[in-house]
Structure 1
Amino acid sequence: MTVEVELQRALAPMVEDRLFPDEAPADTALPYATYSQIGGKALTFLAGLPDKRNGRFQFNVWAKTRDEANALMRAIADALELDDVLQATPLGELAATLEPETKLRGATQDFSIWFPR
């Protein structure tokens, strides 16, 4: 399975399947979450290929209230850290955001995730 399939398995039920790579479609119901791979550690061996890859993933949640956005991001963090397949490690705590035009409250957090090649 791909890391994207595993992320959907682990996280989509938390947002009623409103988990999207990169960005959500216009008029998506709240709350929802997005994710992007924003780098990772490259592994190189002298002989052969490693059996795992590493990605740095950024997760973003959007909601109507600050409490809802932060609670959802914390729940996503817990699910990622407890998932046996994803082996996620937080790379810092959540950061609160505000979308000035829509007044939506957001939260973002980065994770290091190891996944099968």
Structure 2
Amino acid sequence: MADSINAIVRAALDSLVDERVFPGAAPPDTATPYIAYQRVGGAPSATLDGVCTTRNARMQIAVWSDTCEASTVLMDQAMAALCDDIIKGTPIGEPVDVYEEATKRYGSRLDISIWYST
């Protein structure tokens, strides 16, 4: 059986942030930088013959750092890792920068469409 979409995303991103990659949200007090991801939809993969073994996931990637510049660099690295010749993800738009006042952290988020085998 092929890897799950979560395993694919983690494997691509772990080395960028010393394995601080989390589904949904990072635990409180996680050191920066870190990456959170979640599935936020995808293209239907059913045909008249039934459900396909190739699926699509729209994954939202959110990177967090202590500076805006560091977040921009980390997002560029995450995009490169998920849109390489192996995973072949496709960005949906361009990254959106965010600032979280409560934690004083800078972030960037982007949705990436990824086709994978189940």
Q: TM-score range by the shorter chain?
A: over 0.9
Match of 1:15 among 11, 14, 17: 17
Report matched runs for 1:26-37 at 5 Å. 26-37=28-39
Distance 1:13 1:83, change over 3 A: farther
Displacement of 1:4 in angstroms is 1.0
Q: Which runs of 4+ in 1 moved over 6 A?
A: none
- 86-95 or 30-39, which moves further after superposition? 86-95
The yes-or-no answer on 1:25 pairing with 2:27 is yes
Partner of 2:111: 110
Query: Which residue of structure 2 lines up, in the alignment, with residue 41 of structure 1?
Result: 43
Per-residue deviation, residues 32-68 of structure 1 (Å, max 9, x unmatched) = 0000100001122112431211011100011000000
Quote the Cα distance in structure 2 between the aligned partners of 1:57 and 1:83.
Answer: 18
Whether the aligned pair in 2 keeps the contact of 1:31 and 1:62 (CA below 8 Å) is yes
Q: What is the TM-score with the length of structure 2 in the denominator?
A: 0.93
Q: Which amino acid aligns with 2:100?
A: E
> Which amino acid is the alignment partner of residue 69 of structure 2?
D
Q: If each structure's strand is expressed as a fraction of its own residues, which one has the higher value?
A: 2
Q: Structure 1: which 5+ residue stretches go unaligned?
A: none
| Counterpart amino acid of residue 64 in structure 1 | D
C-alpha deviation, 1:83, in angstroms: 4.5
What's 2:91 paired with?
A: 90
* Partner Cα separation in structure 2 for residue 87 and residue 2 of structure 1: 15
Matched, 1:72 2:77: no
Aligned length: 116
Unaligned runs of 5+ in 2: none
TM-score in terms of structure 1 length: 0.94
